[in-house]
C-alpha cells in the first residue's frame, strides 16, 4: 500500500511539471520575476535615500555651526570698541562731542542728508 501511494505521488508531480503546465504558467513566472526585481530595486532606492538624508543632515549641521561662528564673530567685530580699533589705521576717531543738527533757515525744518 505504501509503495502504491509513493508511485501515485510521483505520477502527480510528473503531471504537474509537464511541459504544458510550465508553458501555461510562464506569464505568472515572469510576473513573479518582475515583482522580485521591483522588490530589490525598492530596497536599493531606500538605502540610497537614507544615505542622502544623512548626508544632507550632516551638511546642515555643519552650516549651522558655521552660521553660529560667523554670527558671533560679526557681533564681536561690530562692538563700538572693536570698530574704533578697526578704523584707527585710517585716521578715523570716535566723536567726543555730540553731532550738530543743521536747520534750514527758510523753512525751519531739519536738513537730513540722505547720501
Residue 17 is predicted with a pLDDT of: 67
Cell of 49: 535615500
Give the pLDDT of residue 113.
Answer: 57
What are the pLDDT tens digits along the chain (115 aa)?
556 666 666 666 666 667 777 888 899 999 999 999 999 999 999 999 999 999 999 999 999 999 999 999 999 888 888 888 888 888 888 888 888 888 877 776 665 554 4
Q: Is 52 in contact with 60 (CB distance < 8 Å)?
A: no
- Indicate the SS3 state at residue 2: helix
Euclidean distance between CA atoms 25 and 29, whole angstroms? 6
DSSP one-letter code for 90: G
Q: What is the pLDDT of residue 21?
A: 77
Amino acid at each position: 500500500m505504501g509503495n502504491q501511494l509513493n508511485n501515485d505521488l510521483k505520477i502527480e508531480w510528473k503531471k504537474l511539471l509537464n511541459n504544458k503546465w510550465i508553458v501555461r504558467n510562464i506569464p505568472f513566472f515572469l510576473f513573479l520575476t518582475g515583482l522580485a526585481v521591483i522588490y530589490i530595486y525598492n530596497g536599493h532606492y531606500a538605502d540610497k535615500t537614507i544615505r542622502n538624508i544623512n548626508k544632507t543632515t550632516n551638511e546642515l549641521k555643519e552650516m549651522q555651526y558655521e552660521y553660529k561662528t560667523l554670527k558671533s564673530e560679526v557681533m564681536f567685530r561690530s562692538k563700538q570698541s572693536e570698530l574704533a580699533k578697526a578704523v584707527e589705521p585710517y585716521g578715523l576717531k570716535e566723536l567726543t562731542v555730540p553731532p550738530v543738527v543743521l536747520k534750514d533757515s527758510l523753512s525751519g525744518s531739519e536738513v537730513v542728508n540722505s547720501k
